[in-house]
Structure 1
Amino acid sequence: MKLDTLTVDELISLFVSFSEQQYPLTLNDEGGKAKQIIKKRNEIDKELRRRGIAARLELTKLFTHPNTQVRINAATTSLGVAREPALGVLRQIIKEDFGPFRLDARMTIALIEDGTVNPT
């Protein structure tokens, strides 16, 4: 599939689909199986970046998605263009979620706050 031929809405839909596929793999600690899905999701991120800030900001519409994996992926991918709202999503996940999602959100915030990661 050539991502450059898709609309932004189609790219966002694919992002959601890949994130939903990743959810059970994250829950079951099957990182190896998730690698291909994450790679595909990263390709979508690259295409959105190529299209500019407005395209990347479309991911913020996913901040209230019912699936935790979708929310955390959208938030971490959006940190460079919507830092505070994305951090808010991660903080909410820490408060309300469990296990690997809480850990991922905590780790992401810690790396940003200590300057190890500077989202772009």
Structure 2
Amino acid sequence: MKKNKTLSEMTEEELVGEFTNASIAQKEASEKDKFSKYNKLFDRIVEIRNERKIRPGDRRRDLLPLLTHDNIQVRLMAAIETLAVAPDAACRTLKEIKDSNWFPFAMDASSTLSWFESGRFRPE
């Protein structure tokens, strides 16, 4: 069996797992001021987003269960990714993160909410 699958070879469940793992690693990188690693993980999340976009149907809904994940970075990234398909749920999660005052996550959630509500950020 092939050990390292490409994103195009992964199932929907595997893509959600890859998204979750990348988000968890992002939080760890952020807490250790490893910004280069954080940015590489962000790029990986974008690759996962792009893979989901080219698949039939709107696969962003697969991330909705992550809005209640224990890891704040997983919740943040899932909320951003689901704004287009479940704006009410995503905005509730972003507001909860913002209200937590757990920085830098609260700042990212606040900025995303502000941009989304003002129309400056329109998820595709």
TM-score (normalised: structure 2): 0.89
The percent of aligned pairs where both chains have the same amino acid is 33
In structure 2, what is the Cα distance between the partners aligned to 1:71 and 1:103?
14
The answer for the alignment partner of 1:65 in structure 2 is: 69
1:115 aligns with 2:113: no
For 2:101 and 2:32, locate their aligned partners in 1 and report how far apart those are by CA, in whole Å.
15
Deviation at 1:29, TM superposition (A): 4.1
Aligned residues: 119
Aligned partners of 1:72 and 1:43: how far apart in 2? 17
**Aligned counterparts of 1:35 and 1:96: Cα–Cα separation in 2:** 24
Give the helix-richer structure, 1 or 2: 1
Q: TM-score, normalised by structure 1?
A: 0.92
Q: Which range moved further: 30-39 or 99-108?
A: 30-39
Q: Per-residue deviation at 1:94?
A: 1.2
The equivalent residue for 1:27 is 31
Say yes or no: does 1:101 pair with 2:112: no
Q: Which residue of 2 aligns with 1:89?
A: 93
Q: Determine if contact 1:60/1:78 at 8 Å carries over to the other structure.
A: yes
Paired letter, 1:63: L
Give the 3-state SS of the residue equivalent to 1:117 in structure 2.
Answer: coil
Relative CO higher for 1 or 2, CA cutoff 8 Å, sep ≥ 6?
1
Q: Please tell me whether Structure 1 or Structure 2 has the larger radius of gyration of its CA atoms.
A: 2
In structure 2, stretches of 5+ residues that fail to align are none
Report the aligned-residue RMSD: 1.3
User: Any stretches of 5+ residues in structure 1 without a counterpart?
Assistant: none
Q: Secondary structure at the match of 2:122?
A: coil
